[in-house]
Structure 1
Amino acid sequence: MGIEIEDKFDVPPEYELPDLGGLADTVGPKSYQLVALYFDTPDLRLAARGVTLRRRRGGADAGWHLKLPKTKGARQEITHPLTRSARDVPYELSELVRAYTRGAELKVVAELETRRSVTLLKDGETRLVEIADDRVKGTVYGDQPRIVRWREVEAELLEGGTQQLLAKVGKRLRKAGATPSESSSKLEKLLEPARLPKAATKAGSAGEVVVDYLAGQVKALLAQDPRVRRAEEDAVHQMRVAARRLRSALKAFKTIVTDTAEVQEELRWLGTVLGEARDLEVIRARFAKALAGLAPELVTGPIQNRLGSDLRKREEEAYGRIKEALSSERYYVLLDALDRLVAAPSLGKAAGKPAQEQLRTVAAANWSRVTKAYDRAQAVEDAERREIAMHEVRKAAKRARYTAEALQPSLGSDMGRLAKLAENVQEVLGAHQDGVVAQETLAKEAESARQAGEDTFTYGLLIGIERNTAERAHAEFPRVWKETVKAVTKVL
Structure 2
Amino acid sequence: MTTTHVETERKYDGAGLPERLDRAPGVSAVEHAGRQDLDAVYYDTPGLCLLRRRITLRRRSGGGDAGWHLKLPVDRDTRREVALPLEAAGPDAVPAEFTALVAAYTRGAGIGPVAHLRTHRAPTVLRDGRGRALAQITEDRVTVQVLAGDGPGGGTRAEISGWTEFEVELDRGSATLLDALEEMFTEAGLIRSRWPSKLARALGGEPSSVPPRAGPAGSAGAAVAAGLRARVEQLLALDAAVRRGEPDSVHRMRVTARRLRSLLKAHRRLFDRRRADPLAAELRWLGRLLGRARDQEVLGELLVEHLDAVPARLRGGDLRGRLTERYARGYRRAWREAVAGLDGARYFALLDELDAFATRPPLRRRAGRDARAYLSATLRREQRRTLERLDRALRMPPGTGRDRALHRARKAAKRARYTADDSRAGLRRRADRRAEEFATRMKRLHKVLGAHQDSVVARQELTVLAADPACRGEAFAHGVLHERQRQVADAAHGRLPGLRRRAGRRKLSRLK
Q: TM-score, normalised by structure 1?
A: 0.90
**Displacement after TM superposition at 1:127 (Å):** 5.4
Matched, 1:472 2:486: no
Out of 329, 333, 344, the residue aligned to residue 328 of structure 1 is 344
3-state DSSP of counterpart to 1:79: strand
In the aligned structure 1, how far is the partner of 2:214 from the partner of 2:324?
51
Q: Could you report, residue by residue, the CA deviation over 1:185-238 in whole angstroms, capped at 9, with x for unpaired residues?
A: 322333322243133333222222222221111111111111111111222122
Match of 1:137 in 2: 143
After superposition, residues 414-453 of structure 1 pair within 5 angstroms as: 414-448=434-468, 452-453=471-472
When residues 472 and 197 of structure 1 are mapped into structure 2, their CA distance, relative to the original with a 3 A threshold, is same
Q: Does the aligned pair in 2 maintain the 1:288–1:307 contact within 8 Å?
A: yes
Matches within 5 A, 1:216-295: 216-259=230-273, 260-291=276-307
* Map of 2:152 onto structure 1: none
1:438 counterpart letter in structure 2: A
Change (3 A) 1:201 1:370: same
Moved more, 463-472 or 192-201: 192-201
Please give the secondary structure, in 2, of the residue aligned with 1:136: strand
Look up the SS of the partner of 1:68 in the other structure: strand
Is 1:482 the counterpart of 2:501 in the alignment?
Answer: yes
Q: Which residue in 1 is equivalent to 2:153? A: none
1:189 to 190, 201, 207: 201
Q: What CA distance in whole angstroms lies between the structure 2 residues aligned with 1:18 and 1:296?
A: 71
Counterpart amino acid of residue 141 in structure 1: L
* Identical-pair percentage: 34
Q: Which string of whole-angstrom CA distances, capped at 9 and with x for unpartnered residues, describes residues 231-282 of structure 1?
A: 1122212211221111111111112122311111110000111111122223
Indicate whether 1:203 and 2:205 are aligned: no
- Contact in 2 for aligned 1:129/1:166 (Cα 8 Å): no
After superposing the two structures, state which structure 1 stretch, 78-87 or 385-394, moved more: 78-87
Partner of 2:40: 36
Q: Is the CA contact (8 Å cut-off) linking 2:214 and 2:360 kept in structure 1?
A: no
Q: How many equivalent pairs are there?
A: 486
The corresponding residue for 2:103 is 98
In the TM superposition, residue 321 of structure 1 has moved relative to its aligned partner by 0.5
Q: CA contact under 8 A between 1:214 and 1:246: conserved in structure 2?
A: yes
Contact 1:306 1:445 (C-alpha < 8 Å) held by counterparts? no
Structure-2 separation of matches of 1:225 and 1:339: 15
1:139 to partner: Cα distance: 3.4
How far 1:474 sits from its partner (Å)? Answer: 0.9
Map of 1:247-396 to 2, 5 A cutoff? 247-259=261-273, 260-291=276-307, 299-378=315-394, 380=396, 383-396=399-412
Judge which range, 457-466 or 432-441, deviates more: 457-466
In structure 2, the CA distance between the partners of 1:14 and 1:367, relative to structure 1 (3 Å rule), is same
Compute the TM-score of the two structures, normalised by the length of structure 2: 0.87
Query: Conserved in 2, the CA contact under 8 Å of 1:418 and 1:491?
Result: no
Task: State the match for 1:81 in structure 2.
Answer: 85
The runs of 5 or more residues in structure 1 that have no matched partner are none
Residues 453 and 193 of structure 1, relative CA distance in 2, 3 Å threshold: closer
One-letter amino acid of the structure 2 residue matched with residue 46 of structure 1: L
Q: Which moved more, 1:45-54 or 1:5-14?
A: 5-14
Q: Is residue 44–residue 194 contact of structure 1 (8 Å, CA) maintained in 2?
A: yes
How far apart are residue 430 of structure 1 and its match?
0.9
**1:168 is matched with which residue?**
177
Contact 1:53 1:66 in 2 (8 A): yes
1:367–1:342 CA distance, 2 compared to 1 (3 A): same
Cα distance 1:354–1:140, how it changes in 2: closer, same or farther (>3 A)? farther
Q: 2:424 aligns with which of 401, 408, 418?
A: 408
24-33 vs 207-216, which moves further? 24-33
Q: Return the alpha-carbon distance in structure 1 between the equivalents of residues 317 and 52 of structure 2.
A: 55
**Partners of 1:352 and 1:219 in 2: CA distance:** 24
CA contact (8 A) 1:215 1:342 kept: yes
Do the aligned partners of 2:383 and 2:504 also contact (CA within 8 Å) in 1? no
Q: 1:283 to 1:170 in 2, by over 3 A?
A: farther
Quote the offset at 1:75 in angstroms.
3.0
Please tell me whether the aligned partners of residues 11 and 153 of structure 1 are also in contact (alpha carbons under 8 angstroms). no
Q: Which of 454, 459, 465 is residue 478 of structure 2 equivalent to?
A: 459
Q: Which runs of 5+ in 2 are unaligned?
A: 149-155
Query: In structure 2, how many angstroms separate the alpha carbons of the residues matched to 1:358 and 1:458?
Result: 53
What is the identity, as a one-letter code, of the residue corresponding to 2:143?
Answer: K
Quote how far apart the aligned CAs of 1:336 are.
Answer: 1.1
Q: Which residue of 2 aligns with 1:11?
A: 13
